[in-house]
Amino acid sequence: MLQVRNLGKTYEVPVRESGLKGALSSFIKRKKKEICAVTDLSFEIRKGEMVGFIGSNGAGKSTTLKMLSGILHPSRGDVTVLGFKPHQRQHVYLKKIALIRGSKPLFAPADLTALDALHMQRIIYDIDYKDFTRDLGKIVDWLQIEPYYKKPLRTLSLGERMRCGLACSLVYNPEVLFLDEPTIGLDSNAQQRIRHFLKEYNRETNATILLTSHYMEDVTQLCKRVMVIDKGRLRFDGGINHMVNQLTPYKFIVFTLEESSVLPADLSKLVIDTQDGKYTMRVSNQHVPSVTARLLSNFSILDLTVEQPPFDNTLQQLYAAEVV
């Protein structure tokens, strides 16, 4: 479905010293330097997969998505999506993919209504009117945009514009979605609606989705597989659970004791935080069952939960590791 081999992208940018002397010098002879945004990237994505593509700012995520969608031409390497070379920007290819950016979800004139924008997409992508009307109701229902889809786009909130942007991008039923920060700037309710929609769209259409996000909830809720990019290089490619178990081989046991209960020394040394009678233990994965059973059997426990370490902690461990 999607194959990337030794992909790289290098930019040439002008540089100059500060001050008047630097400005005059660059006017006479401009100096340039190369910046490598993506280095030797290789991976494959199968049909129907939802894959998280994550990394810090400047890691190369957006540059990679732009190369996969055909906006940028690779400096080196080979990319095929659905059997096409994205940088050739063939019309038949562009009708099969969608690049959706959370920072700019809509590319329609602001005075149009969402419904007008959807009809504009129908004309641009030459969608049969019967097919359009058949699929429109389903998309409007999935994204719950009917209450405002006859309002001018300029009057909509960010969350409403994001959902309208998704509707416009999906009305022609693309087989591959490249999502660049689709929930950026949205409140928690709007984020949850977008996640629910993406799950439904993937389940109904078996579309392939590559998702970048700084909100780890997007990735952990939607994707079983994650690719981590750092400084233009792929640092990890595999299951989320595998990465967590490999880099953070422990869990947190969080529980509340009755005031009369006292932990023995061997358990107290596992406690990393205590507040208002609530204890947090850091316990290796293999010892979680035995420690949990001992707590419940021998102490007056008011409540107890076993929690995974925050995903951000796992990423920090990954970036710090020299070999993964």
Tens digit of each residue's pLDDT (9 = 90 or more) over 226-261: 998 888 888 889 888 888 777 778 889 999 988 777
Domain 45-244 fold? Rossmann fold (3.40.50)
Q: Which pLDDT tens digit goes with each residue over 125-150?
A: 888 888 888 888 888 887 888 888 78
Residue ranges covered by each domain of the chain: 45-244, 249-307
- For residues 86-100, average pLDDT: 91
The alpha carbon dihedral of 37, 104, 52, 209 has a sign of negative
What tens digit of pLDDT does each residue of 158-181 get?
Answer: 888 888 888 888 888 899 999 988
Q: Which long-range contacts (CB under 8 A, 24 or more apart) does 120-123 make?
A: 121/168, 121/171, 121/172, 122/171, 122/172
CATH 3.30.310 fits 249-307, yes or no: no
pLDDT of residue 160: 84
Beginning with the edge strand found earlier in the chain, give each strand of the sheet holding 31-45 in spatial order.
31-45, 2-15, 76-81
Q: What are phi and psi of 18, to 5 degrees?
A: -80, 165
